[in-house]
Amino acid sequence: MQINMAEREIVLKLVYYGPALSGKTTNLQKLHELLDPSARGKMVTLDTTDDRTLYFDFLPVTFGTQGGFTVKLKLFTVPGQVMHKNTRKVVLAGADAVAFVADSQGSSSSANAYSWRDMEANLKANGVDFATIPKVVQFNKRDLPDIKPLEDIRKAWGDIPTFPAVAVKGEGVIETFRELVRQTYRQLDEKHRFGEKFGVTEDDFLKGVLKSVPA
């Protein structure tokens, strides 16, 4: 979290993590389509021949609050391929919350597990408490065959919020994003008395998001 009192601006970094081709970039692309153009900036994507995203996708989302602050959400994704481990670590630096995008297909279980462990290791390497950082999990590609049943997924992930999605169709994208913002606010308020210090309530955050995207 970055706070500029002179400009009355709060900047938060949200990172979409997961294995290669799980739908991280697609989530940001769909958010970019759905967000009010006045509330979002340009989406930056860096492609390569060996991975869809070499470094990151970056989408800034901005909204005002009743407390007079401007909140800027910086959304990033990371490259999923194993060879880009160091890049993923760099992108995770300073993250305030993470959305883990998993592939629902049974054949992707090992890739999902590896990526989750990789995310945990990289967050810890950046000095982030993995146990307390806000996290949501999206199980994408629910329209494909050989997918895990939702009841099994929710049982396995326990208290971590999980969302089914078909990101290419926009399904589950907003729900994942909204919950990520909610969890981010609650963590900041618990750790830093965010609402008391800055006059920014959970409703301010959620209303800011809801003004920008379809309800």
Delimit the domains of the chain by residue range.
Answer: 2-212
- Pick the range with the lowest mean pLDDT from 31-35, 123-127, 136-140: 31-35
Average pLDDT over residues 28-55: 72
CATH 2.40.50.140 corresponds to the domain 2-212: no
Phi, psi (rounded to 5 degrees) for 153: -60, -50
- 73's tokens: 């959400």
In sequence order, what are the residues at sequence separation of 6 or more whose Cβ sits closer than 8 angstroms to the Cβ of residue 51?
20, 79, 80, 81, 83, 84
**Coil, strand or helix: which one is 38?**
coil
- Write down the pLDDT at residue 112: 93
User: Residue 203 above 60 pLDDT?
Assistant: yes
User: Residue 156 above 80 pLDDT?
Assistant: yes
- 48's tokens: 């390569």
Distances (CA, A) of 99 to 15, 117, 192: 6, 14, 22
Positive/negative CA dihedral, 80, 75, 42, 6: negative
Average pLDDT over residues 159-167: 95
Q: What is the pLDDT of residues 75-94, one digit of tens each?
A: 888 876 655 667 788 889 99
Average pLDDT, the chain: 86
* Secondary structure tally for the chain: helices H, strands E: 7, 8
Residues 86 and 43: their CA atoms lie apart, in Å, by 23
> In the chain, what is the greatest distance between 2 CA atoms, to the nearest angstrom?
53
- Pick the range with the lowest mean pLDDT from 38-42, 68-72, 92-96, 178-182: 38-42
Say if CB 185 and CB 196 are below 8 A apart. Answer: no
Split at pLDDT 50, 70, 90, the class of 55 is very low
Residues 63 and 177: their CA atoms lie apart, in Å, by 15
